[in-house]
């Protein structure tokens, strides 16, 4: 059934593309593609020349029809790429239709009233319950919920979003499955994540990449050069007493200018964006996709990127003078009011290990804060139990340094890539809790592939050097930066860029935003904060940091595809010279008959055969432009050699065979 639906969608896309190909004949569209614009102008000239009687009626009509078809094929190549984008956009639109918001008067006044989602503004507060669609982009400021993001990512598995974490961002049109949340709106109607996605996949906001602009300028210069060459031919022909009709001059010009790549260039750019979206990566511009193909340094935030980010308590390590039961009890009671995933996991581990205790009454719970870097509880009997980083606990118990046993315990935990959390009661240190952060599955193999492609991977983390080294070794990254602050990430990126490297940064937190903005490629995780997604020029809808491997391959594939088809297009022109030039001058200059290598039947047939080949090669290359040339990790020299052999030599030989075959068919048809 799904195959039948897909077939219907493909048929619908082709019908839309055919209609759009005719619409693109309007001047405002043709001016965007100067090469094909000149072919369209030439079509009108040949039509006028034929009707005015400046050339043989049958020959002029055939040339006009072939040129018209050439322009339509080029328009169709761009239109079919855009139609695919519109198909993706239509499914996205369904996610935001007729949404209603339950708006709060304020955080203090929880009175709600329903309004249309389109009326929401930045900083409005909305309440969303289980079973409801989130009406706008925003940040969860209260509560947590599991959310189905299939409307955006295509992934049916629900994800957890929670206030106060790096996974607090939500997207309008996604569905809350459990619990209820308070969301602060971060985007006005029309500027939401879905709105930007729709505009990008439809191609309406597609900016040309630097390479595409440079190639476009080259093609325009070549076209203008050949226009001047062809314009000078009547003067040369009159000197040789040869009369050349306008139809023949237009045919020569169309065969000389790079029409093949000119017709396919827009489709290649659009297809690159579509391939990125198919990989569930939203590229905010075609430039981002292309630059990804050239990066050679990759910086990755550890938490939530290389690891899952939810550290879980896995073991208690008491000091020699302390029983494990005492450490377990102290860790448990100090974490009862701790809302973080780490605190909850400590309570859970203590219970799993057999702790049976009643929650204390009249206890004063101390929440974690950035200045003290500790949390805990003050009990009614005067006990002060704290847990936190080693240096913070040493400061709390007023010790200048850790004793040998405590230092060994901390290093033991850190050397395993886990985070040590020290527990103290009053002035006595009880032991260490081990918090483990799990590395994402398959990440080491993907980092190895990045290394094969010449990309250096650097892990950036706030962990201590021992923990960072253990995680880096397990994940397989090339280098790491420990105890890093946001400004350290920024400094590292700037240093690499000053050394001439193109740098990619992968992150998900608000503290990653400056680095994501500075990097040449900033890949933000969809599970991350709104600030990170705004700062990056790409958003990974699957929140998979190794997705950059796919992004790099897509970027390289786009560069290779454009290079390969440009090589093929220019190589084609060599063969067409041997078809057209002898047809023009062989009668007056018999020596030029030697250039008629293909032994074409007549000048008119030679011109028609070259034009027909010029027209049909465009639709034949559309699948390659849309799918892309297959990418294989290789050096620049190997890549150049492969392209020149397949698309260079092949681009010269194929037209010789095809034009000769078309000529034989024309001889047979016209004889009838």
Helix, strand and coil content of the chain, in percent to the nearest 5, comes to 55, 15, 30
Distance of alpha carbon 311 from its chain centroid, rounded? 29
Across 522-554, b (16+ Cβ under 10 Å) vs e yields bbbbbbbbbbbbbbbbbbbbbbbbbbbbbbbbb
Q: Is 370 assigned a ligand-binding role in the annotation?
A: yes
CA distances from 549 to 10, 293, 298, 457 (A): 29, 10, 10, 11
Joined tokens for residue 374: 């500790």
Coil/strand/helix, residue 215: helix
Q: Is 278 assigned a ligand-binding role in the annotation?
A: no
CB-based contact 156:177 (threshold 8 Å): no
Q: Where are the alpha helices (DSSP H) in 257-323?
A: 259-278, 286-292
CB-based contact 222:257 (threshold 8 Å): yes
Give the closest residue to 46 by CA, choosing from 33, 60, 35, 30.
60
Determine which one of 124, 166, 301, 540 is catalytic. Answer: 301
Q: Is 437 a catalytic residue?
A: no
Q: Is 369 assigned a ligand-binding role in the annotation?
A: yes
Q: Is 371 assigned a ligand-binding role in the annotation?
A: yes
Parallel, antiparallel, or unpaired: how do β-strands 521-525 and 538-540 relate?
A: parallel
Q: Given the structure tokens 């984008």, which residue do they identify?
A: 85
Number of helices and strands in the chain (H, E): 23, 21
Parallel, antiparallel, or unpaired: how do β-strands 428-436 and 419-425 relate?
A: antiparallel
Instruction: Tell me the residue length of the chain.
Output: 672
CB-based contact 153:175 (threshold 8 Å): no
Q: Is 374 assigned a ligand-binding role in the annotation?
A: yes
Q: Is 373 assigned a ligand-binding role in the annotation?
A: yes
Parallel, antiparallel, or unpaired: how do β-strands 374-378 and 364-366 relate?
A: antiparallel
Give the closest residue to 294 by CA, choosing from 453, 444, 448, 499.
453
The binding site consists of 338, 342, 368-375, 387, 508, 512
The annotated binding site for ATP is made up of 338, 342, 368-375, 387
Annotated binding site for Mg(2+): which residue ranges?
A: 508, 512
Active site residues: 301
């Amino acid at each position: 059934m799904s195959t039948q639906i897909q077939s219907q969608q493909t048929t619908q896309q082709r019908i839309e593309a055919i209609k759009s190909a005719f619409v693109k004949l309007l001047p405002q569209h043709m001016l965007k593609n100067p090469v094909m614009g000149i072919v369209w102008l030439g079509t009108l000239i040949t039509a006028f020349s034929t009707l005015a009687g400046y050339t043989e009626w049958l020959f002029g009509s055939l040339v006009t029809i072939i040129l018209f078809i050439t322009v339509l094929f080029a328009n169709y190549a761009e239109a079919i790429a855009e139609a695919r984008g519109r198909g993706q956009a239509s499914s996205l639109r369904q996610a935001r239709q007729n949404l209603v918001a339950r708006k709060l008067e304020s955080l203090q006044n929880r009175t709600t009233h329903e309004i249309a989602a389109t009326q929401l503004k930045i900083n409005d507060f909305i309440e969303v319950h289980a079973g409801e669609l989130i009406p706008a982009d925003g940040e969860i400021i209260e509560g947590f919920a599991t959310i189905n993001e299939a409307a955006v990512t295509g992934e049916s598995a629900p994800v957890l979003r929670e206030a106060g974490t790096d996974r607090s961002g939500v997207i309008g049109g996604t569905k809350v499955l459990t619990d209820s949340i308070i969301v602060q709106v971060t985007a006005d109607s029309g500027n939401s994540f879905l709105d930007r996605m729709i505009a990008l996949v439809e191609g309406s906001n597609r900016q040309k990449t630097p390479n595409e602009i440079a190639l476009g300028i080259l093609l325009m210069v070549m076209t203008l050069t050949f226009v001047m060459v062809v314009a000078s031919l009547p003067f040369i022909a009159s000197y040789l007493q040869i009369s050349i009709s306008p139809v023949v001059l237009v045919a020569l010009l169309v065969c000389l200018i790079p029409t093949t790549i000119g017709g396919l260039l827009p489709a290649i750019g659009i297809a690159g964006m579509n391939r990125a979206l198919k990989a569930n990566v939203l590229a905010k511009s075609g430039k981002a996709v292309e630059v990804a193909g050239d990066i050679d340094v990759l910086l990755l935030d550890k938490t939530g990127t290389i690891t899952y980010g939810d550290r879980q308590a896995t073991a208690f390590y008491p000091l020699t003078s302390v029983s494990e039961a005492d450490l377990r009890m102290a860790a448990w009671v100090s974490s009862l009011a701790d809302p973080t995933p780490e605190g909850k996991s400590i309570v859970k581990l203590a219970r799993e290990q057999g702790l049976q205790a009643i929650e204390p009454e009249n206890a004063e719970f101390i929440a974690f804060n950035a200045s003290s870097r500790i949390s805990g509880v003050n009990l009614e009997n005067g006990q002060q139990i704290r847990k936190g980083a080693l240096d913070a606990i040493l400061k709390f118990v007023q010790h200048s340094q850790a004793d040998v046993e405590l230092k060994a315990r901390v290093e033991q935990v850190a050397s395993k890539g886990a985070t040590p959390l020290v527990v103290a009661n009053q002035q006595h240190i009880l032991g260490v809790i081990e918090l483990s952060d799990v590395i994402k599955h398959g990440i080491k193999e993907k980092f190895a592939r990045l290394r094969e492609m010449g990309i250096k991977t650097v892990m950036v983390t706030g962990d201590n050097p021992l923990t960072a080294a253990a995680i880096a070794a397990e994940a397989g990254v090339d280098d790491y930066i420990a105890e890093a602050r946001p400004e350290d990430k920024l400094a590292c990126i700037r240093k690499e860029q000053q050394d001439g490297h193109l740098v990619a940064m992968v992150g998900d937190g608000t503290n990653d935003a400056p680095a994501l903005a500075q990097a040449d490629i900033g890949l933000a995780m969809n599970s991350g904060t709104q600030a990170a997604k705004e700062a990056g020029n790409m958003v990974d809808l699957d929140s998979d940091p190794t997705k950059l491997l796919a992004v790099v391959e897509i970027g390289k594939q786009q560069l290779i595809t454009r290079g390969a088809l440009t090589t093929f297009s220019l190589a084609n022109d060599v063969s067409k010279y041997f078809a057209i030039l002898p047809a023009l001058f062989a009668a007056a200059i018999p020596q030029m008959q030697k250039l008629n290598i293909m032994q074409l039947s007549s000048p008119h047939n030679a011109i028609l055969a070259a034009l027909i080949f010029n027209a049909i090669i465009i639709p034949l290359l559309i699948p390659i432009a849309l799918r892309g040339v297959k990418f294989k990790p290789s050096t620049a020299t190997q890549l150049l050699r492969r392209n020149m052999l397949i698309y260079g030599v092949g681009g010269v030989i194929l037209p010789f065979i095809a034009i000769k075959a078309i000529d034989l068919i024309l001889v047979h048809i016209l004889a009838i």
